[in-house]
A and B are shown apart, each in its own frame.
Chain A
């Protein structure tokens, strides 16, 4: 068990507010990823990190930023939430065998 915790598990927020989602891992993995999952689109990569302070954009990064100041924490921020960002967000780590995912955060922007 890679020990990945996402918080919060559920959140409802208003359009235009900033929102931060947290991913915490306990096993010192270097690579971490944020995905969003929407019906008909599968898993789409938002941002990823290959170490402390080393991050890069994925395919759907507009409107999102990330930070990784410690190995164990990877934060995803919606700078000004929009209804199109209503989704389920998954964090993942990459280890020797593949990716291990957290349980997800269901975000609703109203």
Chain B
């Protein structure tokens, strides 16, 4: 099945550093979503983006919906130990039927050294 190209695959950073990850696709999406997964839990929605060019923040997290509708990035500023986890991007083509299904990246595993 189709997957998004998510990079980097993993990151190991020092506490306080900024983090950037991105997702690209060969096709366009109407919605981009960013999720975080902690060990032993399901993914939790961090940020949802609905419009090309949109820039949205959630605390120290900022995400953008690319102007071409084929990419998105997530930035985390001033990382802290609880940012550790796997971050997933997902794209959605529409809101009805088959188009409501999400296309997923393979995740970025983030480790933070205190």
Interface residues of A (CB under 8 A from B): 31, 33, 40-45, 48, 50, 56, 58-60, 90, 92, 94, 97-104
Contacts and interface: CB of A to CB of B under 8 A. Distances in A.
B42 interface: yes
Contacts of B105: 42
Given A40-B106, A50-B100, 18 more contacts: A33-B101, A43-B43, A44-B1, A48-B101, A56-B98, A58-B1, A60-B1, A90-B42, A97-B45, A97-B48, A98-B45, A98-B92, A99-B90, A99-B102, A100-B45, A101-B43, A102-B42, A104-B42
Contact of A45 (B1, B41, B48, B88): B1
Interface string B74-111: 00000000000000101010000110111011110000
Interface in B28-45: 31, 33, 40-45
Contacts of A41: 106
Nearest to A41: B106
Contact of B45 (A42, A90, A99): A99
A31 B102 CA distance: 12
B56 interface: no
Contacts of B41: 103-104
Contacts of B101: 33, 45, 48, 58
25 contacts: A42-B3, A42-B105, A42-B107, A43-B88, A43-B104, A44-B1, A45-B1, A45-B101, A48-B101, A50-B97, A58-B1, A59-B1, A90-B43, A92-B42, A94-B100, A97-B45, A98-B31, A98-B90, A99-B33, A99-B90, A99-B102, A101-B42, A103-B42, A104-B40, A104-B41
